[in-house]
Amino acid sequence: MGATACSSDDEESSSDASYIQLYNASANSTSLSLSLDDYLYTAVEYGNAMPKYAYSTGEFDLEIIGEDEIGDELVSYQGSVDLNNGEHHLFMLIGDYHSPEFIDISYQTTEMDEFNDNEDESYSKMQLLVGHVAMQADSFDVYIGVDGREFIDATLLDNLSYKGSTTGVTLDTGDYLVYLTEPGSLVPVYTTATLSLTSQTVYKLIIRDSFGPGSLKVTIDNVDSTSGADNYANIEANAEFRVFNGLSEHSAVDVKVSNNGSNVEMEDIVLGQSTDFQAVDFDDYGVTITDTESQQLLANNLLVTFNQDESKSMLIYQDAEGQIKGLTQTHDLRPRAYKSEISFANLVDDFDELSLYFVADSETIDSAEYKIDGVELADIAYLTIPLGDYELNVVHEDDNGNLTLLYQSQTLQFDGSQYALALYQDTEQSLGYKVAVIE
């Protein structure tokens, strides 16, 4: 038995081999690993793929392995798979992680390879297939069109419902658009940006669940032979944003976000508080900030970009020179099994680097298993922690090893999929600082 990675332009690395790849399509899953005959590959997060590998032919035991609630290995799927010569397999775990399903999309590249190997003609061909793994979505008609042409010129690939996939189609390499319509309709409800499909390889387009503000609640990943995946949101999808006030010298602020076509105004944002998410068209915007009480202009030249299907926060803070600035953060709002994704933003300029400790009931700072180190002003750091109860401690350590406690919370329950934490100065707190927990 052997496994060899494939590049995007050299997939046939053996005359007697099959080809395997895992894509994680279970939205609330932990990271997932493929195991073939007890050989464990590198784990991949939701919406990502491992590289394609050449593998021996035959029948093999296959497992998809994730993690349970305490971080131990959990076999999410177990079965056997026949790997035949020249076959390519895209394995996917789909659905709810607590009761997932396994899909094996098998395809051949014979036609594409014959074109590209023809020495008498200068063909450059790629292959395309589409899979639908968006658990909550209806069926779609899937079209592909050449970039620069109208939708009316696009080609219908197939109608796809959940767990369905198209057969592979061989096309010229080049730039394309993919459209989704309701079944039988000629009005696109989803259009990608330009896909540069310029390598002689197989592109697998995966329609998966999206948890952004777009109304359709799906997005499309492009999986080639390499690791990861390129995401293509609906170019007409809205964005959403919220604003957090971390200005200790201004108890409340008004914020206006504007471009040539629209304005969004949010008034009386109190220190340490965040607005609700506001829907906005994707675009580049200017941000104006004024003091609510005095109407003093604090900033009028801040720039923020909202891309399609993005959820963002703007954290307003003051830097060491007294300039009012906005720190933007993009959120991943997908559900998660067993864990919370934590983001921690430092809006305090009094210290070089800070550490945030998540202290469980049986722990102290010295023994805490989960912590974030080295967070400077205007940094955002990330950590994934098991669901549970924690006390938050923010600490600064100087060059001599002396520790300063900036903030210590009561015991807090972290039972959601994600939390945004922001440290800001608050003179009403006994230690002068506070961590806001923004769900």
Q: Note the pLDDT tens digit of each residue in 353-385.
A: 999 999 999 999 999 999 999 999 999 999 999
* Mean pLDDT across the chain: 95
Buried b (16+ CB within 10 A) or exposed e, 386-415: bebebbbbbbbeeeeeeeeebbbeeeeebe
CA of residue 225 relative to chain centroid, distance: 20
Q: So what's the pLDDT on residue 12?
A: 47
Q: So what's the pLDDT on residue 6?
A: 57
Secondary structure, 3-state, 196-213 = EECCCCEEEEEEEECCCC
Q: So what's the pLDDT on residue 4?
A: 59
Angle at 18 between CA 126 and CA 167, to 5 degrees: 45
CA of residue 347 relative to chain centroid, distance: 24
* CA-based nearest residue to 254, from 245, 266, 244: 266
Mean pLDDT on 122-151: 97
Mean pLDDT on 307-312: 97
Using pLDDT thresholds of 50, 70 and 90, give the confidence band for residue 13.
very low
- Ramachandran region, residue 401 (left: φ > 0; alpha: ψ -120 to 50; beta: rest): left
Mean pLDDT on 99-121: 96
Secondary structure, 3-state, 292-329 = CCCCCEEEEEEEEEECCCCEEEEEEEECCCCCEEEEEE
CA distances from residue 256 to 243, 263, 268, 310 in whole angstroms, order as listed: 10, 7, 11, 19
pLDDT, tens digit (0-9, with 9 covering 90-100), for 114-133: 999 998 889 999 999 999 99
Coil, strand or helix: which one is 193? coil
Q: What are the residues whose beta carbons fall under 8 Å from the beta carbon of 191, sequence distance 6 or more?
A: 151, 177, 178, 179, 180, 234, 235, 236
Using pLDDT thresholds of 50, 70 and 90, give the confidence band for residue 252.
very high
Q: At residue 10, does pLDDT exceed 80?
A: no
- Yes or no: say if 166 and 90 are a contact pair by the CB < 8 Å rule: no
Strand ranges for 331-402 from DSSP E: 339-346, 354-359, 370-375, 380-386, 388-397
Q: At residue 312, does pLDDT exceed 50?
A: yes
Coil, strand or helix: which one is 151? helix
Q: So what's the pLDDT on residue 3?
A: 60
Q: How far apart, in whole angstroms, are the C-alpha atoms of residue 15 and residue 403?
A: 63
Q: How far apart, in whole angstroms, are the C-alpha atoms of residue 41 and residue 51?
A: 10
The encoded tokens of residue 288 equal 């104006």
Give the β-pairing of 174-181 and 39-40: unpaired
Coil, strand or helix: which one is 65? strand
Q: So what's the pLDDT on residue 439?
A: 77
pLDDT, tens digit (0-9, with 9 covering 90-100), for 169-218: 999 999 999 999 999 999 999 999 999 999 999 999 999 999 999 999 99
Q: So what's the pLDDT on residue 7?
A: 42
Q: How far apart, in whole angstroms, are the C-alpha atoms of residue 425 and residue 404?
A: 15
